[in-house]
Structure 1
């Protein structure tokens, strides 16, 4: 208020002079004459100064946040964040101007509170989605272009909006997920990290040579162009099952090539195990026939 008060004090004589000149054109007893008084002129000047200073302040804040968001956020997420700040800033400007105009903000806020409650009940879902969107943006769990899996639905993040996000599925469908649903649902960011492990479960017969099977799988992984050399593959005997020996084989692929690696590895494993005479096990049923 120091700079604003000084500016008002400096402008007060000018405003008084302007009001005096205006009174020369309007009768002092008429409505226009009563309007242009020194008190009115001071209020007008104060409102104008408050409006200008508030807009400049909000503009500077938005400009700084826009520059910061470009460095730390993607374009859509940063745009959403800046837009929220702009709305809050405009609300601040409105209240500052009303206060400068000597408007009773207590009564105004009371009336606004009643109206806000009514609107809140009518738009409860929208408000919840908007607030959830702010939390989503602040968490930075995903960004545009990431692949998400939400409640069994997988797709590429197409857009991040104020009330929802949109996924483009791999069969080219557009799925809209409300922000509130996303907050409450378990979500996996499949491409968050540069590498993703491909987990392959294999069931072989009990007469299979496990060590030979392991060597064959490692050879297949070493020759596959979609498999990363580091981290190294993981081989494990999981369990002796009812129908065969359960094996686990894990290899690492680049996140954006995981689906291609999943397909090529399973094809190569099937071909190689068949060539080596290593048989896949499958559920069997033994039927005993008792003769009378």
Structure 2
């Protein structure tokens, strides 16, 4: 259900099969995502959400077989350096890879190199440093520039990773469970930043199991369960009592306010 004027999906999966170790994560996954269309991939733990992010980030590769393909920005062959400039990623895996002593500013700067921290062989330019300073100012992180990553709160770390993902001004921003572990203030700050990005023209792909993390600008929902798409359509149709109760296999009641949704037990 593309709503973008751009007819080429930034992600196209056709009958994709993919394995993690000895088990299949996907056996026949079909999905198309378009620029200009803010989308949430919603599902319970173990549904394949993070594996989908790994497919998009080229950390996981599908089985090669007839009638099956994975295309990113219309191509089956992807240059990783080019991809990093077009798709930004914020994920718990990435946060866990940073050493506690890495300076906050270097976390953001490393986004230019697709690395975790800055190595001796990497030579940041003045333009890169200026972009880092600009982003840290915009995201309320300027005073943290010299602080070690390990001394920051989870909310501050998540905003740093968001700044890192934005250094190339990507067309698409992928957010894998971005509000996990955040307190109310940090979560609201992060969601506010995501709303600004969505209104500013960055295409958002939110991957989560948390209904309350879905900002009002997201209009399409893809429901994922056991590696299969079990629902795909407008949020008004899918983020309701029945579809969500089926998705999470528990009776739920959805409450809405100011464009956000919360879920409560239905019994």
Question: Shorter-chain-normalised TM-score: which range?
Answer: under 0.3
- What TM-score do you get using the length of structure 1 for normalisation? 0.18
Higher helix share: 1
Larger Rg: 1
Task: Normalising by structure 2, report the TM-score.
Answer: 0.20
More strand by share: 2
